[in-house]
Amino acid sequence: QLQLVESGGGSVQPGGSLRLSCTASGDTLDTYAIGWYRQAPGTEREGVSCVSSGGRTFDYADSMKGRFTISRDNAKNTVYLHVHDLKPEDTAVYLCAANGASCLSGMDYWGKGTLVTVSS
C-alpha cells in the first residue's frame, strides 16, 4: 500500500523559501497524480498544487501562483513543493496526497503533513 511522508517544513521569516518533499514507499509515484494541500489553524484544508502522472501541473489557488512550484523526481520517488516569498498567511501544515486517476479526482492516500511557520 502506498505511504507518503512529508518533510522540509520549519520556521522561516517572511520572504524566505523552503523546499518541501513528499517521499513515497510501498509503491512507485510515477503512476500517481500527486497534490499538495495545506491546512492553517482554524481553517479547512486548501489545495495548493498538483502534478499529474504525465507531468502536467495544476494550481489549485490563484493566490499562490508564481510563489509555489510543484515538481516530481520519479527516480527518487519524490514530489517537491518549492515555496518562495513566504508570508505569515502561508503558515500551515502542508500535506501531500495521491490518486491513480487525475489531479481533479479525490485523493486516496495522504501523508501526515509537515509544519511551515512564517513569522518575524
- pLDDT confidence of residue 64: 75
HSE value, Cβ hemisphere, 13 Å, CA-based, for 11: 2
Average pLDDT of the chain, as a whole number:
95
Percent of the chain at pLDDT above 70? 100
Q: Are the C-beta atoms of residues 78 and 72 closer than 8 Å to each other?
A: yes
- For 96-108, write each residue's pLDDT tens digit: 999 998 999 899 9
The whole-angstrom separation of Cα 75 and Cα 63 is: 31
Q: Are the C-beta atoms of residues 77 and 21 closer than 8 Å to each other?
A: no
Alpha helix stretches (DSSP H) within 1-120:
none
- For 54-88, write each residue's pLDDT tens digit: 999 999 887 777 899 999 999 999 999 999 999 99
- pLDDT confidence of residue 74: 92
63 alpha carbon, distance to own chain's centre: 15
- pLDDT confidence of residue 73: 94
User: Cell triple for residue 117?
Assistant: 511557520
The predicted model gives 49-54 an average pLDDT of 94
- For 21-43, write each residue's pLDDT tens digit: 999 999 999 999 999 999 998 99
Distance (Å) of CA 6 to CA 75, 78, 111: 17, 10, 6
